[in-house]
Amino acid sequence: MSRSTGRGKPWRRLRFQLTPLSLLWMLPAALVALPLLLILLGAVLPVWTTSYMLQSPTQPVRHDWVSRERIAESARRAVVAAEDQKFWTHHGFDVEAMQKAYERNKRGGRVRGGSTISQQTAKNLFLWSGGGYFRKGLEAGLTVAIEALWSKERILEVYLNSAEFGPGIYGVEAASQHFFHKPAAQLSNWEAARLAAVLPSPRRWKVDAPGPYVQSRTAWITRQMGYAGRPAPTEDLEPAPPPGEVDEDEDSKAPFFLPEPAPSRAQDGRGDAGEPAAETPSEPSPEPAAESAPPQSETPATAEPADSAAPATEALPDAPSEAPQPVPEPD
């Protein structure tokens, strides 16, 4: 004679607890677990496609994954110099840049994209362009996970293989083959700097038909690469983009953005009272070249032969150094 006590059969009680309502509560957990699983796999496996590749308006995309051993050191240094000079020391976020952006936003000034390489990697892999605070919140969580589970070398390797360098051209290998007809392992300093120069807006600025701004930024990146992690001179400011040309994939109000260098704002005629007068002497180098960008970029043929005929770093600095000194365009 057997007695039914209900012991030893906990699975029956568990089975009846799996109601549709409980499954609904499990959905957020699954949405968190899936990206974490992909990040874990991405730590050891090649990343063959990304969210941005799937959303690209240019299809099919060009992309060839290459390991870090097949990427020139010049390419690694160029993107760090151009996009995130504190990459090797921060933990995913540039707190100083975020604070500056917050203060700048309160004054109503225009801001520029300042996402770190880690943030851009998270965005490229899993998210979409735009999106405001909601997307930036997701990006922040993914960035924390990537920084915790990947080494810095792996983050940079995935970034170089997923960044867009032109319409539908993803990864440094595809870009090197398309623009310079050579593998990424053979990129020179100037070629790597030219690729990195268009990263803020690769569908607007052209590697193979650079305007004055891209040329001046290429020269600036080439100079910055020489410091190799050491502090660069403060007077060597990054060239400001031409008026009206902002990063096509950045939110202008989220506090994760680096403000535009102060000298470029002194030229809009408003004369910010809070800006120290000492900042104005540093403006001639980047800004006049940017002001002249729109008319000259329409006829790039005059600038391009110099790039193709010589190791373009000699011709590139001409744009910022020869530019006129006066404060342009007062309102």
Question: Which of 42-51, 144-153, 238-247, 315-324 is predicted with the least confidence, judged by mean pLDDT?
Answer: 315-324
Q: pTM of the prediction?
A: 0.67
Contact criterion met (CB below 8 Å) for 242 and 290: yes
Q: Is residue 203 part of a domain?
A: yes
- Band of residue 241 on the pLDDT scale cut at 50, 70, 90: confident
**CA gap 122, 110 in Å, rounded:** 25
Q: Is residue 95 part of a domain?
A: yes
User: Which residues does 35 contact at the CB level (< 8 Å), separation at least 6?
Assistant: 126, 142, 145
pLDDT for 179: 97
Q: Is residue 152 part of a domain?
A: yes
Question: Which of 8-12, 48-52, 259-263 is predicted with the least confidence, judged by mean pLDDT?
Answer: 259-263
Contact criterion met (CB below 8 Å) for 289 and 212: yes
Q: At 112, is the secondary structure helix, strand, or coil?
A: strand
pLDDT for 158: 97
Q: At 259, is the secondary structure helix, strand, or coil?
A: strand
pLDDT for 263: 42
Question: Which of 107-116, 167-176, 227-236, 319-328 is predicted with the least confidence, judged by mean pLDDT?
Answer: 319-328
Q: Is the pLDDT of residue 242 over 90?
A: no
CATH number assigned to the domain comprising residue 86 = 1.10.3810.10
Q: Is residue 16 part of a domain?
A: no
- Band of residue 12 on the pLDDT scale cut at 50, 70, 90: low
Q: Is residue 17 part of a domain?
A: no
Compute the mean pLDDT over every residue in the chain, rounded to the nearest whole number: 74
Q: Is residue 6 part of a domain?
A: no
- Band of residue 193 on the pLDDT scale cut at 50, 70, 90: very high
Residue 241 phi/psi, 5° resolution? -70, 160
Q: Which residues partner with 57 through β-bridges? A: none
Q: At 111, is the secondary structure helix, strand, or coil?
A: strand
**CA gap 291, 285 in Å, rounded:** 11
Residue 59 phi/psi, 5° resolution? -130, 145
Beta carbons within 10 angstroms of residue 106's beta carbon = 8
Q: Is residue 326 part of a domain?
A: no
* Range picked from 126-130, 234-238, 242-246, 293-297 for highest mean pLDDT: 126-130
Q: Is the pLDDT of residue 97 over 80?
A: no
- Band of residue 238 on the pLDDT scale cut at 50, 70, 90: confident
Q: Is the pLDDT of residue 298 over 80?
A: no
Can you tell me the mean pLDDT for 54-73? 95
- Band of residue 30 on the pLDDT scale cut at 50, 70, 90: confident
* Domain count across the chain: 1
Q: Is residue 269 part of a domain?
A: no
Can you tell me the mean pLDDT for 256-275? 39
The domain containing residue 307 runs over which residues? 32-261+279-321
User: Which residues does 113 contact at the CB level (< 8 Å), separation at least 6?
Assistant: 200, 246, 247, 249, 250, 257, 258
